[in-house]
Structures are given as C-alpha cells and as structure tokens.
Chains A and B, each alone.
Chain A
Amino acid sequence: MSLRRTLAVAGRVLAQIRRDHRTLVMLVVLPTLLMTLLWWMYEESPVPIFDRIGPALLAIFPFIVMFLVTSVTTLRERSSGTLERLLAMPLGKGDFLLGYALAFGLLAAVQSGVAVGVSVGLLGLEISGSVALLVVVAIVDAVLGTALGLLVSAFATTEFQAVQFMPAIVVPQILLCGLLVPRESLPTVLEAISDVLPLSYAVDAMTHLVTSTDTGEVWTDLAVVAGFVVAGLALGSATLRRRTP
C-alpha cells in the first residue's frame, strides 16, 4: 500500500468521470431532484411527512447511486483487462479499493452537500441537530454504497448481473430500514434482520439528527456504518485475485 498509488487511482477515476459529463451532472443533481420531487408530493399534506421520510431518503439516495456507479465501473475494470494489468503491476489491492473509495467519497461529498443544502435551505427540511454532521452521515452512506458495490462486482460476470444486484442487495435494505414501517414494529425475525443491515444504521443516524440535538446516538450509528464500510472493503480486497483461472 502506498499513498502515491492510492492517489493515482483516485485521480484517474475522477479524470474518467470528469470526461463523462452526463454521469457527472447526474451524480451531482439527481438526489437533489428526487428530494425536490418528494417535497412537492407532500407539499399539501396536512401532516409533515416530508420531515419524517426526507432524512431517510437523504441517506438512501447517495447509497443507491454510489452502489450502482461503483459496481458497474469496477466490473468494467475487470472485463476490459485493466484490472489484470494493474494487478500485474506493483499496485496493492488496498491501493485500488481505497483509491476508488476516495474518488467516489469526494463525489459523494459534493452530491450530498448539494442535496442537504437544497433540502434544508430551500425545501425547509427541519433539522434539530447539526447540518454539517448531516453531510458527514450522507458521505459515509455514499461510501457504504461504494464499498458494497465494489464487493458485489466481484460476484458479477456481466453488466446485467451487476445491475440486478441492486434489487437483490439494496431494495431489501430499503424495505427494512425503517422508512416504510418503523423497525421496532417489524415482525421479530425481520427486525432482527434489519438489525444487521448497514442501511438501517445509516437511516437511524439521519433520523436522530433530525429529531434530536443529542449527537451521541448519531456517532454510534455512524461508527456501525463505518464498520460495514471497512468490512466491505476488506472483503472486496479478498475477492481481487492476482491469479485467475
């Protein structure tokens, strides 16, 4: 592992994205547009539903986008032969994964900054806790998407498979994260499952930030999500094989 190589990978990933204008624009504005749509849907609702589900979606959107972008990019790297070239070079697997996490983490910071800024500033999302911490949580959620995307790309051999991991890995987490049914009201088995899914903690962190000024629980949830990120990257690194059949 070396910082120079990690930064080289991150710089290269960002250079690729910078050249792909459409992807860049979508990465930055899509979550914000979806938040705006959500705000509009509940604009005339007598109960403040936007305030209830908005925070959860601020956690979910960057997670989904980064999961998809990462799993497809990494798969492309595997199928084009560039991954094999890199692994035949003096590049650590950790350099490769951290480089990706760093590049997408930066993009996530921009994406989440815009989404949080618009939600709080223009759409009137009420937040009791700190806005800065909200951005941090959103970035960690996006990096979680990156880590899981890197991991599942190892199990996909085609783009079709990679895209299908989204309903397989992401949708159950969205259903069980407390967005539709509060987690404590789920059937016992499902509640237990939701307790071991990373997105549940990501959404909990967001909800705490919005409902309370006490940041203790936010940091705990954030630590759990960060733990999943590290585990995902470690497992992802185990799936990168220098020697292949």
Chain B
Amino acid sequence: MNNVVEASGLRVVRGKKEVLHGLDFSIRAGEVTGLLGPSGCGKTTLMRALVGVQAKVTGSLTVLGLPAGSAALRPRIGYVTQAASVYDDLTVAENLRFFTRVLGAPMSSVSEAIETVDLVDHKDQVVRDLSGGQRSRVGLAAALLGSPDLLVLDEPTVGLDPVLREQLWGTFRDLAAAGAAVIVSSHVMDEADRCDRLLLMRDGAFLADGSPAEIKQKASADDIEHAFLTLVRGTAR
C-alpha cells in the first residue's frame, strides 16, 4: 500500500515549548487512521502540520510525495478544524458553493457533499440557525468538496448523535475504500475500533502505532482505553 504521508523526526515548537517531539509515522491510502489521545497532547498541532498551516515545523514531512504545505497540495487535502470554520451568515449551500468556487471543483460536488453529511433538508438554511452538530457537518461537507486524496478531520464526531456518528464513520470508511487516506482525531477511546490503524498519542509522542487488535494484544488489554493506561504506566516506569 502506498504511503500518503511520511514523517520522520517531526518536531513542532509553539511559543518556547516543543509540542511534538520527533515523530516518525506514515499514513496509508485506503485506510482510516485514528489519532487518539487526551486533549492537549498535540493532535491538532500534528494535523495542522500535515495540512501545512502550522509554523515552526522541523524534520521531514511529505504529503503525496511533496513537502507538507506545498501549493500543489492545497486542492488535494480536505481539512476539518474543531471550529466549523464556515460563514454563519450564509446558507449551507451558499457556503459550499463558495468553497467549491475557490477550489475550482465541479458544482455537482456541492449536492454530493450535502447528501453525504445528511443536510439535504437544511441546505437553504442560514448556518447561524443550525444546531452545533449540524454546523460542524457543514464544515465537514466543505472538506469533502472536490474529492481530496487526504482527509484530515480534527474531532469531527464530537457532540453528534450516535446514529449520525455511526453514519459518518461509514462515510469515512467509504472515502477510504475509494482510495483516500483518512486521518481522524478523537479524544474518545471508544471510537478506536472503527479505525484500521491507530496512533495513540500522549504529550507530543506516540505510545503505540498499529491496528486496534495489535495494540490491544501488545498491552494485553481488552479495549483501547485499558491498553492506553497500560502503555502509559509502561513508559512511566
């Protein structure tokens, strides 16, 4: 399988503090990679580095064969931040049409993205009038426009109804099956089993890297939450 992201010795400094301490990892096409760890462990910084919006990144980081942040990558990466990052005073469809124009993607991607995130009934509603979960789905829809090769999703399922969460994970799986590399961050360990591969993270370093089954086996734990605890105790010792 081909690596969409390859990193070695990836370090990021924010302010005077180093927040990512020399990470080595790769992310493959056709897989959903989960980036799991507690709040503040560096998940967002890592994702921002992949997208190319993080300053003070050192080490080697390539995306689709190009240095992260290259202009040629911008149309090929879909990025969802924790803030919905859409215009509150425009309708769902107006937001997506605008981003589609910026991307230069076909206008048909607007209705496709709206269907994928299940907002067909709300497409002409102003984003300000939507619920929090619906707003974040607009942000997700914006990231799906133009079928990107790498999807970087920062906690996309927080605060969503379980039925919808299930549905969105289905969408992530479909996107991966269609050949995209999908990286999803979460601080909720129970989402771990939905991923093909996990990067468990704590304090800017990886605790484990492997499939959920491998990690559980390595830590001789029944679930990822316990595996995480075992691994943390293991490194502390």
Q: Say yes or no for A245: interface residue by CB 8 A criterion.
A: yes
Interface residues on A, range: 20 to 34
Q: Mark A231-245, 1 if CB is under 8 A from B, else 0.
A: 000000000011111
Interface-facing stretch out of B27-35, B77-85, B191-199, B222-230? B77-85
Q: Mark A6-25, 1 if CB is under 8 A from B, else 0.
A: 00110110011001100000
A225 to B222, CA, bound (A): 70
Whether A19 touches B101, Cβ cut-off 8 Å, given contacts A85-B85, A89-B75, A244-B53, is: no
Please tell me if the beta carbons of B98 and A243 are within 8 angstroms of each other in the complex: no
Q: Is the CB of B85 within 8 A of A81?
A: yes
Q: Is the CB of B102 within 8 A of A91?
A: yes
Encoded as 1 (CB less than 8 Å from any B CB) or 0, chain A from 79 to 98 comes to 01110111111110000000
Interfacial chain A residues near B89, Cβ < 8 Å? 16, 19-20
Considering the complex, give the chain A residue whose CB is closest to the CB of B51: A88
Contact mask A212-245 → B, CB, 8 Å, 1/0?
Answer: 0000000000000000000000000000011111
User: Within the complex, what minimum Cβ distance (angstroms) separates B130 from chain A?
Assistant: 15
CB atoms of A244 and B87 under 8 A apart: no
A88 touches B102 (CB 8 A): no
Chain A residues whose CB sits within 8 angstroms of the CB of B74 once the complex forms: 88-90
A11 to B83, CA, bound (A): 23
Complex Cα–Cα for A87 and B88 (A): 18
Q: Is the CB of B75 within 8 A of A19?
A: no
What CA separation (Å) do A80 and B55 show in the bound complex?
Answer: 19
Contact B94 A15 (CB under 8 A): yes
B15 nearest CB neighbor, chain A only = A245
A-B pairs with the 4 shortest C-beta distances?
A: A81-B85, A8-B101, A81-B83, A243-B55
Taking Cβ atoms with an 8 Å cutoff, the residues of B that contact A are: 14-15, 51-57, 69, 71, 74-75, 77, 79, 81, 83-90, 94, 98-99, 101-104, 126, 142
Which A residues have a C-beta under 8 Å from some C-beta of B?
4-5, 8-9, 11-12, 15-16, 19-20, 80-82, 84-91, 241-245
